[in-house]
Structure 1
Amino acid sequence: MHKVTTRLVRENQVIVVEDLAVRDMLKNHKPARAISDASWREFRSMLDYKTVWYERELVVIDRFFPSSASSSACGARRNTLPLNVRTWRCACGARHDRDVNATKNILAAGLAERRNACGAGVRPGRESSPAGGRL
């Protein structure tokens, strides 16, 4: 995990992750062992401190963001999407793999959140000099 997190942080200026409720996910006994074996919580904490060390940015998307149920092509949102449904077709005709679609949506949401936090799109005003613009 150290090698992977270090590589991710060194190669990227911004890393976007989804905030997962690991403790709640462990209550479901079917995937609990695989989740704890994957050490998601430890992976996230490594990303947290390494992004600070390398002066990178870690953007965390809210766990309730509908990343799997929203179409990355048109933005339409499905009301329900059971966990056993791995692929689905949107009304716009796009066919989505659940995980790939969620990844695209999480990245887009993270970059949009970053732009809003940075104030992108807001043009700074010009400073006027006391000499009326003359030097």
Structure 2
Amino acid sequence: MGLYHLIYQSRALQPFDTPALTALLYQARAFNRAHHLSGLLLHTPDDRFFQILEGEEDVVRTLYYDHIMADPRHYRCRLVGAGACAERSFADWNMGFRVASAAELHALLAAATPTGQVPFAPQPRVRPELLKMLLDFVANHELEPISHS
């Protein structure tokens, strides 16, 4: 299997304060480092998550379908896009982290679903425009107090 990326969004069932986010990131970064995964996690003040994961297809799919979707800390887990990729967009991060506004998240979700595409297709592809927006978002936002790696 080859290099694969997957993007999903979800909503937390309970508020994620700084200690809860720190614990989540610590756990995710350790797992990702051990499994050669990279990615980015965005969190909004209204407790929504938007995440991209990159790595070997079987590892990414198992993590998403067997662990992330089953995690009781969130609901409305929805696949935004997935598919093979030529290279990692977030290769330097086991799990980068940024806080995003609801408007920024809305813009990213709009970029994920082009006009005329069925928004809940079984496995939508990751659009290059969305990856560019994510990379621009990271470049234009300060690192959060919870350090990245």
What TM-score, normalized by structure 2, do the two folds share? 0.28
Higher relative contact order (CA 8 A, sep 6+): 2
Q: Tell which structure's C-alpha radius of gyration is larger.
A: 1
Q: TM-score, normalised by structure 1?
A: 0.30
Greater fraction helix: 1
